[in-house]
Every structure is written in structure tokens, then in C-alpha cells.
Chains A and B, each alone.
Chain A
Amino acid sequence: MTGEVFGDESGRAPDFVEPVCGWRTWLVVQGYDGVRLASVSFPALWPRRQRLCAQCGRGFHNGSGPPLRAEHRAPALDCSCGIYAARTLDRAAQIADCATARFRDCLGRPVLGAALGLVSLWGTVVECAQGWRATYAYPARLHVIEPSGGSPRSHAASAGELAVDLRGYGVPVDALGGYSPREIGWLLEADPGSAPGRAA
């Protein structure tokens, strides 16, 4: 985290003092030191009990065309960088639907399953039509999903086993085995305590 500046670099007061809370899907992978969360769309492992910090080294808008800026602090309004979260569970569940079926390994490590859940976002936050991009993130609540799709894999674990292993993140974790991500969405959206958004 060397060289990071927390908060607004201009030194002005922050706009809010409560994190944004949105929905995400993670892959659950076997790390060197136990079971870890990993991003679905980018090879990043989420550290336990440490915030994840976004950095943008691409300087490209949407990954194509000329670079807008050689480098910038993530997230930038005119880039696609940052740590993502969706405003609705349904959007995150769309990814969970295929995550465990599509990904067999991540960063050279076996994918054991997937998790849907809430994530706290803070730092610079770009609010988008259906979600947010932010500088910093940490899981707030995890719901582990049974591995799905294809033939059974030798390294597949039950949602209950993965939920126990993910307790190292220090946030509430439960197993929702036997339900599809869509069904889990219906269950969780019935829980008023799971509503995402900015709680300022």
C-alpha cells in the first residue's frame, strides 16, 4: 500500500463517512494458506482482514482505443477500472449462475465454488446506473453456493465446508447449498437486512 493516499487527494472533507454496500459474486479458490475469495473478471485474490485496493495500469477506456491517461488513481470516471459492485442482487446472481460452471481454475488454483454477497466500498466511488466502482473494498456478508455445472470435480467441496473455511474473513458467512443463484436471490431479497446502498 505504499504511496496510497486515503481520502480525497485535495484534502477536502469526504462527501460521506459510511461505505457503499453492493452485491458481488466471488470465486472461491484454494489459496496457499487456505480458502480464499477471488474476483471473477480479473485475477485478483481478496486478502483476509485487509482491504483490497484497486489500481489501474491500463489507462484505456473499455479496454480498446487510445489510452486516455497513462496512469491514474482508480477508479476514474472515464475509465472502467475499480472494484465493482452491483446495485441489485439479480445482476450479481447472473454472474454466479455461470461462475462455477465456467471457471475451473483461477491464478493457477482450483476453483472450489462461488459466493454471492455484500461488499463494502469506499475511497473514491464512481456511482453508475446499476452499481459502483471504488478504490477500496472488503466483503461484508457471504453466501456460499454449491459448485454447479458439468461433471463433478475431484476438488469440489460442499457449500457448508467452504463456508467454514471462509470464516477467516471475519464476516458473516453461510451456506446456501441446494439453491440456484436465482433462488438465493429471491431468498436474500426477502431479507430486509441485506439491502445494498449507501448508508450515509
Chain B
Amino acid sequence: MEIGAPRRTYEIEPLEEPVPDVPAEEPTVSRPSEPDSAERAPDLVPS
């Protein structure tokens, strides 16, 4: 995605991260057999 030339950099440290809590009835432990390495891949944007 083209977003133009960089202008400035700043640091944002939210008082509370905007990530919803995991519901108690919704476990997120993945199965050990799953190849999850790709799911942790960085979000780089090639040229």
C-alpha cells in the first residue's frame, strides 16, 4: 500500500492496548501439530 513519504516518528503507548480480552469460554491454545510459524510472520510491505 502506497502511503507516501515519511514525515515524522512518534511513540504511542496506549493506557490500554486496543486488543479485546479472550473470553473465558474461548480458549486460544493452538494445537501443537499446527504449523504456526507463518502465523507469526512479520507484516512487511515489499516495494
Do A and B actually bind?
yes
- Asked if A15 and B10 sit within 8 Å, CB to CB, the answer is yes
**Which residues on B sit within 8 Å (CB–CB) of A12?**
11
The residue in B9, B18, B43 that gathers the most chain A C-beta atoms within 10 A of its C-beta is B43
Given contacts A8-B11, A121-B12, A49 and B20 within 8 Å (CB-CB)? yes
In this assembly, does B24 line the interface, its C-beta being within 8 Å of a C-beta of chain A? no
Given contacts A41-B1, A43-B38, A129-B3, A15 and B43 within 8 Å (CB-CB)? no
**Can you name the residue of chain B whose Cβ is closest to the Cβ of A39?**
B43
- Measured CB to CB, the residues of B under 8 A from A are 1-15, 17-23, 26, 28, 30-31, 34-36, 38-39, 41-47
**Which residues on B sit within 8 Å (CB–CB) of A175?**
none
Q: Once bound together, how far apart are the Cα atoms of A176 and B9, in whole Å?
A: 35
1/0 contact trace for A123-147 toward B, CB 8 Å? 1111111111110111010000000
In this assembly, does A56 line the interface, its C-beta being within 8 Å of a C-beta of chain B? yes
Q: Once bound together, how far apart are the Cα atoms of A82 and B20, in whole Å?
A: 22
- Asked if B12 and A127 sit within 8 Å, CB to CB, the answer is no
B16 shortest CB reach to chain A, Å = 9
- Asked if B19 and A50 sit within 8 Å, CB to CB, the answer is yes
Main DSSP-derived SS at the B contact region: loop
Given contacts A74-B42, A137-B43, A171-B20, A129 and B12 within 8 Å (CB-CB)? no
The residue in B8, B9, B30 that gathers the most chain A C-beta atoms within 10 A of its C-beta is B9
- Asked if A124 and B43 sit within 8 Å, CB to CB, the answer is no
- Asked if A125 and B46 sit within 8 Å, CB to CB, the answer is no
Q: Once bound together, how far apart are the Cα atoms of A134 and B45, in whole Å?
A: 12
1/0 contact trace for A59-84 toward B, CB 8 Å? 00011100000000010010011111
- Asked if A49 and B21 sit within 8 Å, CB to CB, the answer is yes
Given contacts A49-B28, A63-B46, A81-B44, A128 and B21 within 8 Å (CB-CB)? no
A sample of 20 more A-B contacts (CB under 8 A), given A8-B11, A84-B45, A95-B1, is A7-B13, A8-B13, A15-B10, A32-B30, A41-B1, A41-B45, A42-B41, A42-B45, A50-B28, A80-B47, A92-B1, A121-B12, A125-B12, A127-B10, A128-B4, A129-B5, A138-B17, A138-B18, A138-B19, A170-B21
